[in-house]
């Protein structure tokens, strides 16, 4: 199946490209509804989560992904909640794309790697309030359910923790981001409780278990690197 990704008209990238062409033809000329397009758009999200968890190359290239944020913004009048959900997810995955590429490189020196990580961390930290916590969040946020938003926030925090863990490995001791990482882990625990309290975690046990396992693994490893005060915070989690 993999050999047909680029050439087979029935492949996912080909269908996504066809969906984009159909949308640009305008109403009445084969354009898809938001719900139909949303089905195509969700596939890159699963692709990136799978690649990130198992350290595998991406199946769907970034250039083959439809601009979900623009689509959802231009079609807000349709009020299709899944489009907003996917736009939020793929906005996050734009940073994940760079993170996966960065992680695959072994030729970056510590100083240059830290510069790149600082940029990714800063962008991810800005993305979280944009979609989840700002007093005036993106208008698209109002279109999808709170429990969906809470779970997507958990995934975004998980990406942020991944980036900060990488920064621990390449930073010098005078500016080690261990404390920042622990604080992000604490936010993840709080967010996980929100997701669990909403009752939606039982329907998301696959992704939820991966996020929780990665969090537990980080807290176990970092215990050997931190001071007593930080260790108390970890134990509280």
Residue 27 clears pLDDT 50, i.e. is over it: no
User: Count of residues for the chain?
Assistant: 237
Mean pLDDT of the chain: 73
Q: What is the mean pLDDT of residues 164-180?
A: 76
Give residue 10's pLDDT: 36
pLDDT digits (tens, 9 = 90+) for 100-118: 777 777 666 677 888 888 9
Closest to 132 in 3D by CA, of 179, 178, 84: 84
Find tokens 């990238």 and name the residue: 13
Neighbour tally for 6: CB within 10 Å: 11
Sign of the CA dihedral running 53, 47, 208, 203: negative
pLDDT at 23: 44
Q: How many CB atoms lie within 10 A of CB 71?
A: 21
Q: Kindly indicate the confidence band of residue 120, based on its pLDDT and cuts at 50, 70 and 90.
A: very high
The pLDDT value recorded for residue 134 is 61
Written as six digits, the tokens of 185 are 């882990």
> Which of 38-42, 170-174, 188-192, 202-206 has the lowest average pLDDT?
38-42
CB contact set of 229 (below 8 Å; sequence gap of 6+): none
Q: What percent of the chain has pLDDT over 70?
A: 73
Tokens of 66: 């439809």
- Owner of token pair 């709170």: 146
Instruction: Report pTM.
Output: 0.71
Q: How far apart are CA 206 and CA 209, in angstroms?
A: 5
- How sure is the predictor about 124, in pLDDT bands with cuts at 50, 70 and 90? very high
């Amino acid at each position: 199946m993999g050999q047909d990704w680029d050439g087979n008209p029935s492949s996912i990238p080909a269908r996504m490209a066809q969906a984009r062409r159909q949308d640009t033809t305008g109403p009445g000329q084969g354009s898809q509804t938001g719900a139909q397009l949303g089905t195509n758009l969700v596939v890159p999200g699963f692709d990136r989560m799978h690649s990130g968890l198992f350290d595998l190359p991406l199946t769907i290239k970034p250039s083959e992904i439809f601009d979900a944020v623009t689509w959802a913004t231009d079609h807000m009048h349709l009020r299709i909640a899944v489009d907003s959900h996917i736009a939020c997810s793929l906005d996050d995955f734009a940073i994940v794309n760079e993170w996966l590429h960065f992680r695959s490189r072994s030729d970056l020196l510590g100083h240059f790697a830290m510069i790149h990580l600082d940029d990714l961390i800063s962008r991810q930290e800005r993305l979280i309030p944009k979609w989840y916590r700002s007093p005036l969040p993106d208008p698209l946020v109002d279109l999808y359910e709170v429990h969906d938003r809470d779970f997507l926030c958990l995934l975004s925090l998980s990406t942020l923790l991944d980036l900060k863990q990488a920064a621990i490995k390449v930073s010098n001791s005078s500016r080690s981001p261990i404390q920042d990482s622990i604080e992000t882990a604490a936010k993840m625990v709080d967010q996980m409780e929100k997701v669990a309290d909403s009752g939606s975690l039982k329907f998301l046990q696959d992704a939820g278990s991966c996020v929780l396992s990665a969090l537990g693994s980080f807290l176990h490893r970092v215990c050997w690197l931190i001071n007593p005060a930080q260790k108390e915070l970890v134990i509280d989690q």
